[in-house]
Structure 1
């Protein structure tokens, strides 16, 4: 049985997830759920954000795991292999997602870090493509994946495979423009399930609120709802807002469509948009963005 489960999640973490997201993306497009504000500049940025990290991360993580970890943690390889699968999955899930919660929160609260994270929020639309939309330097330097790889090195490989697959599905579904959570709010006998679900994992309603342009409407909440896979961190640390409603607009206020190369490779490449946070002499944080 374990063999089949392993094969399933290996496929999800390999070719399975891209194929699944491609299917979801096509559904979003065919049903008019993918916002038409996605022009050529946005499309190039989304495409590069999806493809390039996958190409670069594999050799980097291989070097980190095979060369650096044996030096940093000599003699500890496989030292946690005795941990049962269930508890290993719990350790991986908490270590991975709680770290990402605080990482995400700090990128909204620390001005310099915000400029790295800004790319993820600049999209004036929501969809599975936004899941991958990130500054490349941000992905390579600030990813909690290094922590997960370390736990895999210590012996939690199978649990990590399972958690990675589940997390990818949950986070992609939370970014999707398909409002799959609405039936849980509309159908009365599903209300108890909805109450638990929206407090435990990220849903489209809670995560779309985080990508809203403004919080003035009482629905958007870009200064909270930081949870990635688990929304429960926002409940515990008091940063959650649950309205079961969707924002009317997404992105950053006064977004002037910085060039794809600046958003993808800042600070190596700068934006030519005047007064942009990504321009050579631009502000660290634009006050009218309220970020």
Structure 2
């Protein structure tokens, strides 16, 4: 069994992932799931994000880390090499994904940090094209990259390769516009499996909710569902929202179509879009307040008007997670 898993992880960490993502992308495009929302600006941003941060920046940081650590803690090299594969897998998986849960969550809760993560949420669509769409500095500061490098140096390199393969599969398919989890909700016989699955790992239903442009429909929940590989962290820390449905709209409600270079390199490069969170004098977190029509004083005392006004004042951007 271990040999079989080793073969799969080696294949995926080689040419397997590019081939898988290419096939998934072709399937998504053939089904017309991006419609006309994949503009030139979005295409450039998604392609550069797909190539540079995960395929260039992260491996370079890992390489440099493994070259640097022998000069700092030479006595601990391969100190954990005696740990069995299964325990090494759990150590790496928990350390990597739990760290990313909190890293991700803080970028939604701290206004200054939000602008580094905003790039990932600006896409008005879901799909493999935007799965790695991140600000380069956000990726550079990925705490789990450095934690995983240290654990690899300590002798857990093989389990780390398998965790990377498994995590990439789960995260890619959670972002995909192909709703592979739908049959688990549709057929009653599969409901027990769905109950476990949706609480254990990220699925399209739970992760798509995190990318919704609104919470008004009871489906979108960008104030939670922060888990990447494991949704279990959201369950444990009280940020889970499970509806078994999918949002009708994705992205940021006030998205201005910021230039791809600003989204990749803010704050080094700024957006030229006036009022954008990424512009030179833009707000850390932009709040959308929908203007209500002017009504007579008699109408303003009607319950319907009062409810609508309260709703509009609370219609904050997906980043306003306070």
Superposition TM-score, scaled by structure 2 size: 0.87
Give the conservation status (yes or no) of the 8 Å contact 1:181–1:205: yes
* Alpha-carbon distance in structure 2 between the residues aligned to 1:5 and 1:186: 31
Partner of 1:260: 260
- The structure that has the greater radius of gyration is 2
Partner of 2:109: 109
* Alpha-carbon distance in structure 1 between the residues aligned to 2:280 and 2:219: 34
Partner of 2:59: 58
Q: CA deviation at 1:2?
A: 4.8
Aligned-residue Cα RMSD (Å) equals: 1.3
Q: How many residues align?
A: 290
SS at match of 2:155: coil
Q: CA deviation at 1:188?
A: 1.4
Partner of 1:209: 209
Partner of 2:237: 237
Matches within 5 A, 1:76-155: 76-155=76-155
* Alpha-carbon distance in structure 2 between the residues aligned to 1:72 and 1:29: 48
Q: CA deviation at 1:14?
A: 2.6
Give the conservation status (yes or no) of the 8 Å contact 2:58–2:139: no
Give the conservation status (yes or no) of the 8 Å contact 2:213–2:318: no
SS at match of 1:157: helix
Q: 1:112 to 1:285 in 2, by over 3 A?
A: same
Partner of 2:313: none
Give the conservation status (yes or no) of the 8 Å contact 1:220–1:247: yes
Deviates more, 1:1-10 or 1:74-83: 1-10
Give the conservation status (yes or no) of the 8 Å contact 1:215–1:221: yes
Superposition TM-score, scaled by structure 1 size: 0.96
Q: CA deviation at 1:57?
A: 2.9
Partner of 1:249: 249
Q: CA deviation at 1:16?
A: 1.1
Give the conservation status (yes or no) of the 8 Å contact 1:35–1:126: no
Partner of 1:221: 221
1:201-249 Cα distance to aligned partner (Å, 9 max, x none): 0000000000000111110000100000000100000000000000010
SS at match of 1:287: coil
* Alpha-carbon distance in structure 2 between the residues aligned to 1:188 and 1:290: 33
Give the conservation status (yes or no) of the 8 Å contact 2:124–2:250: yes
Q: 1:134 to 1:192 in 2, by over 3 A?
A: same
Runs of 4+ that moved beyond 6 A: none
Give the conservation status (yes or no) of the 8 Å contact 2:220–2:247: yes
Give the conservation status (yes or no) of the 8 Å contact 1:136–1:264: yes
Give the conservation status (yes or no) of the 8 Å contact 1:89–1:159: yes
Partner of 1:283: 283
> What runs of 5+ residues in structure 2 fail to find an aligned partner?
289-316
Partner of 2:303: none
Q: CA deviation at 1:35?
A: 4.0
Q: 1:200 to 1:214 in 2, by over 3 A?
A: same
Give the conservation status (yes or no) of the 8 Å contact 1:35–1:125: no
SS at match of 1:214: coil
* Alpha-carbon distance in structure 1 between the residues aligned to 2:72 and 2:18: 33
Deviates more, 1:254-263 or 1:141-150: 141-150
Give the conservation status (yes or no) of the 8 Å contact 2:173–2:203: yes
Q: CA deviation at 1:142?
A: 2.5
